[in-house]
Amino acid sequence: MKRSRTAIVTGASTGIGQGIALKLASCGYDIFMSHLNEPEEAREVAREIEQVHGRRCVVFQGDLCLAETSGQLVESALKEFETIDVLVNNAGITRLGKITEYTQETMDFLFHLNYRAPMLITGLVSKHMIEKQIGGSILYTTSSRGTRAYPSDAIYGGLKAALDRSIQSIALELAPYGIRVNAIAPGAIRVRPAAEYHEKLGKRIPLGRMGLPTDIGGAAAFLCSDEASYITGITLRVDGGLILPGMPETPSVDPDNIWGKLN
């Protein structure tokens, strides 16, 4: 009997992580999902995974800013599922601010959650995949901000750029074991109820709308699938063309709005 495929998705109670977890469940994966402090939202995602998609879902609550939580998460996942086929390092948070005003506490917070945690989890899961001879897939959620610079984005955007670079080295390290490592860089994804801001921004995106978590879920499912078996070490931007135009060259453009500010 063929065993069920399993996936860890961090930060899956809401937003992009939720979209990825639900899509992977629809593709036949049992899900081990983590969240920080959204128990009701996590239970609803688990309910949909189990009742709508007929897959098993285990929920883990923990603070990935703490180094020990990464080990606890992986240990718990292996206790529940024994084998892990897919890891999606999605958990993260945006904090923008001027470099002259950034505090050490905020820098440490972003580094620990957005960079150190996915690196620690990757190390543990990849070791498991190697030992079990699993040709798995490891995926990161980065950001279009890792490619395009904006004011007040030196730390968050810089850490996302660091992830994009790091996955290239990890992909090289793990390729001999048949483990693929990639990233998705979302841009302008609506993770909250629609508001006037979203409509304004959507009109300025080349494809004419903001993205949805389901858009990222579809890209994630593809990169984790056998159809992407020859893809590793890439960052796939999913942003509706958001960052393609760059800085406008016409003087008719409001200079206060060239980086996407909305009035």
**Residues with a known catalytic role:** 156
DSSP string, 161-206: HHHHHHHHHHHHHHGGGT-EEEEEEE-SB--S---HHHHHHHHHST
Say which residue the tokens 């793990």 belong to: 174
Cα separation values, 85 from 20, 96, 142, 228, Å: 15, 34, 21, 14
The distance in angstroms from the start CA to the end CA of the chain is 58
SS3 49: helix
Q: What is the CA radius of gyration of the chain?
A: 19
